Structure 1
Amino acid sequence: MSFRIKPSLRLVLFPLLLAASSLFAQTSKPDAKPSKEVVQYLTDLQQIIKKNALYADSIDWAQLRKQVKEKSQGMATVAECQPVIDHIMSTLRNAGDKHSHFYPRIEAATLTSPSYAGQPAESRYLGDGVGYIKIPEFTSMEASVGQTFAQSIQRQLAALQTQYPLTGWVVDLRQNTGGNMNPMIAGLQTLLGEGIYAYDVTPRRTLMKGLPRYHWSEKEPQPSAGAAAATPQRIAILIDSLTASSGEMVAISLMGRDNARVFGQPSAGYTTANQDFKLSDGAYLLLAAGYRMDRTRKPYLHNIMPDVVVEYSPKDTPDKTIEAAQRWLQEAK
């Protein structure tokens, strides 16, 4: 699973940090040792990062442990630990990791809520045998919500395939800032083709795991396939500078297949593969533990460069990126 915090979530986090700092100022006793609960919690967090993080070898662990010990003095409860957790995550970022995130318990609860008000996928027929599907960000981790989102994409693909004699697709991932990759992938499964669609490489475990066509978290029910659309001859993938994290992962899952091409602007560069860890208080650590390779085993360590770079179209003007994709799709006829 791969995540990137969108600006609204950062705004939610800010008051939480203030609250945590205020609580620390009111209840901590700087001259006292931290409680056993605090020591264990912070030790567990550091061990998870040291064992699994892609950038773990770039951290001075002896120095970090010393800093954590100093900063946690007088803390009695896990609720007071946020300033120390912020320091640990800042150390990880300074080591080169810009993708990992820590979700405090309250914020993590919103990710698993059955209520989700995100944007739905949108589809339409572009004419000349070309179908269009726009996949937005999807930030929920709730299984039933993810299933509904995936099934909506599947139904839209099947409906267009039924109504029109399609020879190609435009998959628009522009402004998809990420979230939960699995529902996006499951929704697009009829466009992925057969077999392995990507690989997750986890260097610290010397593991390369192939992701099969119907990849879905074991914790989540697999959505029904619906009417299977015939795999089209060509797929145009649209990206821009806001295509990030899971948005980039979806693009990579389609890349490398026969007759797929990427149009637009370079992506944001959050292509590390995140692994989620639930902590004892209900908080979540989404940790960059590896990187992604497409089905041809081409690695993506930074951003995705389009095959065809297209300049941004001003507002209320024809979409040059879609136009370029359509021209390429028509070449097959």
Structure 2
Amino acid sequence: MKKSVARYAVILLAGVFLGAGLTVERAVQAERAAHERATLAHLPLRELRTFAEVYNIVKAEYVVPVSSHKLIDNALRGMVDNLDPHSQYLDPRQYRHLTVDTTGRFGGVGLEVTEYKGFLKVVTPIQGTPGGRSGIRPGDLIVRIDGTFIQGLSLRKSVHLLRGRPGSTVVLTVLRKGVSRPLTFHLRRQIIKIHSVASRLLAPGYGYLRISEFQGATGKGVTRALQHLQAENHAPLKGLVLDLRDNPGGVLNAAVAVCDDFLNHGIIVSTRGRIPSSDVVFHAHGPDLLHGAPMVVLVNGGSASAAEIVAGALQDNRRAIIMGTRTFGKGSVQTIMPMSNGGALRLTTARYFTPNGRSIQNLGITPNIVVHEGKFVPSGSNDFLREVDLPNHLSNPNPPKMQAKAASVPPATRKLLDDDYQLRQAFDLLRGLSVYRQFKG
């Protein structure tokens, strides 16, 4: 499964997770009120007078009439957007969308897509959704949405065209390899619940858990997934691969909850900002649901924000080996502050630090073992001449049950590992750690 920084899949219901920001819930009303009073006492009157002059000139002399609402809205966006890439003024509609995104519930069509040459490329239709029932296939290229040619539009704008009221219809024009004519699909939108956690057994005793993003319910989802894996295995797991590749982040509290499933104690992450309420230290309380079994965490350049918090916490606490490529490097915290007009301000209010006090801002998490993307290519024939093939060979005196057997790998897992070189390396390392643990114990 090919992965890259420019290509991280987002789940459309008609939607996508809006960025890799972190949200911090904190009671700061009194502190903000005091700060506002202090600010009012020191307003930059000269600069505000200039602002008023520009506003009046534009309002009176711009080539076409512009509403006061639009001018003020543009001014607010300009004030915040130029601070850093993650601060943003959200109007009421955008704030509603953000709230929906972090809960993992969307009104849409149920396609997992990625950006490809300005279009939307289908990674996979989600089963049980309009997209899954439509006949759209992985690899299909969406070029028009309700007649709008989307090449050149941002991913967010293309996603906005897919969003809509549940029950409404969206028309997709699709190009398919090997088909000469564009295909047209009519999909009826519905509410889709996106699960951010997926899990499976790679082989008896070895689990795989993927987190696609950190939503409000991700912590509970990981706990349930681990319990399910243990039950399916009929015994405690010998090891786990935690896949955080192409995870853009999400809710800070969800990242903390995930770490708590793997740590008995220790610091998970700390945040530091200008105001006292921004200085917080998050501690693990456990228990470790894997009981100390080895872990390998897969990351890449698309692992950002909350995903980096988890990787950093498990790395600094020496709980897991981090494998893959360097992460995105977003080490800042955004606080969502509701406004009186129904909108909100998403403002960078702090930096976060790993348990060892590292800031990963602009640096990212460096894996313990660097493994680049690739595909496993088997070498030539393995049909070597063996002792048993020689004439007149001696028989083995031990019964077959005394012979050591290699751990079996199910065919479905073998195909998955053949297509995902990084996962293959993580799985092989995990089995090696488990064997070493048995010898050491």
- Where on the TM-score scale, by shorter chain, does this alignment land: which range? 0.5 to 0.7
- Out of 295, 300, 310, the position equivalent to 1:250 is 310
How is 1:136-175 mapped onto 2 (pairs within 5 angstroms)? Answer: 136-138=212-214, 146-147=216-217, 149-162=218-231, 163=233, 164-175=235-246
How is 1:187-202 mapped onto 2 (pairs within 5 angstroms)? Answer: 187-202=258-273
Alpha carbons 2:303, 2:328 under 8 Å: kept: yes
Give the aligned length: 264
Alpha carbons 2:246, 2:302 under 8 Å: kept: yes
CA deviations over 1:82-140 (Å, ceiling 9, x no partner)? 21122112321xxxx2222332211111233474443431011122632211001245x
Residue identity opposite 2:244 in structure 1: L
Tell me the equivalent position of 2:350: 290
Alpha carbons 2:326, 2:366 under 8 Å: kept: yes
- Higher share of residues assigned strand: 2
Take 2:324 and 2:90, find their aligned partners in 1: how far apart are those partners? 32
Take 1:102 and 1:177, find their aligned partners in 2: how far apart are those partners? 20
Take 1:171 and 1:284, find their aligned partners in 2: how far apart are those partners? 34
Is residue 328 of structure 1 aligned with residue 429 of structure 2? yes
Is residue 264 of structure 1 aligned with residue 331 of structure 2? no
Take 1:199 and 1:307, find their aligned partners in 2: how far apart are those partners? 22
Q: Return the offset for 1:77.
A: 6.0
Q: 1:230 to 1:285 in 2, by over 3 A?
A: same
Alpha carbons 2:266, 2:317 under 8 Å: kept: no
Take 1:12 and 1:318, find their aligned partners in 2: how far apart are those partners? 26
Tell me the equivalent position of 1:313: 374
Q: 1:118 to 1:271 in 2, by over 3 A?
A: farther
How is 1:1-333 mapped onto 2 (pairs within 5 angstroms)? Answer: 68-69=51-52, 72-73=55-56, 80-92=71-83, 97-113=84-100, 115-116=105-106, 117-127=193-203, 129-138=205-214, 146-147=216-217, 149-162=218-231, 163=233, 164-203=235-274, 205=276, 208-213=279-284, 229-302=289-362, 303-313=364-374, 317-332=418-433, 333=435
Match of 1:306, SS state, is coil
Residue identity opposite 2:345 in structure 1: L
Q: 1:265 to 1:62 in 2, by over 3 A?
A: farther
Q: Return the offset for 1:289.
A: 1.9
CA deviations over 1:46-102 (Å, ceiling 9, x no partner)? x88x99xxxxxxxxx89976775455545986565221122112321xxxx222233
Match of 2:336, SS state, is strand
Give identity over the alignment, percent: 22
Q: Return the offset for 1:176.
A: 0.9
Take 1:150 and 1:80, find their aligned partners in 2: how far apart are those partners? 42
Q: 1:201 to 1:78 in 2, by over 3 A?
A: same
Q: Return the offset for 1:251.
A: 2.3
CA deviations over 1:190-216 (Å, ceiling 9, x no partner)? 1133232111122565964211226xx
Alpha carbons 1:291, 1:300 under 8 Å: kept: no
Q: Return the offset for 1:178.
A: 1.9
TM-score between both structures, scaled by the size of structure 2: 0.51
Residue identity opposite 2:253 in structure 1: N
Tell me the equivalent position of 1:40: none
Match of 1:301, SS state, is coil
Match of 2:266, SS state, is coil
Residue identity opposite 2:422 in structure 1: T
Take 1:67 and 1:267, find their aligned partners in 2: how far apart are those partners? 43
Tell me the equivalent position of 1:31: none
Larger gyration radius, structure 1 or structure 2? 2
Q: 1:246 to 1:285 in 2, by over 3 A?
A: farther
Take 1:84 and 1:127, find their aligned partners in 2: how far apart are those partners? 57
> Structure 2 regions of 5+ residues with no counterpart?
1-9, 19-31, 60-65, 107-192, 377-415, 436-441
Match of 1:185, SS state, is helix
Take 1:63 and 1:246, find their aligned partners in 2: how far apart are those partners? 41
> Structure 1 regions of 5+ residues with no counterpart?
1-5, 14-43, 52-60, 140-145, 215-224
Match of 1:87, SS state, is helix
The CA RMSD measured in Å over matched residues stands at 3.8
CA deviations over 1:291-325 (Å, ceiling 9, x no partner)? 22222222222222222221113598532212222
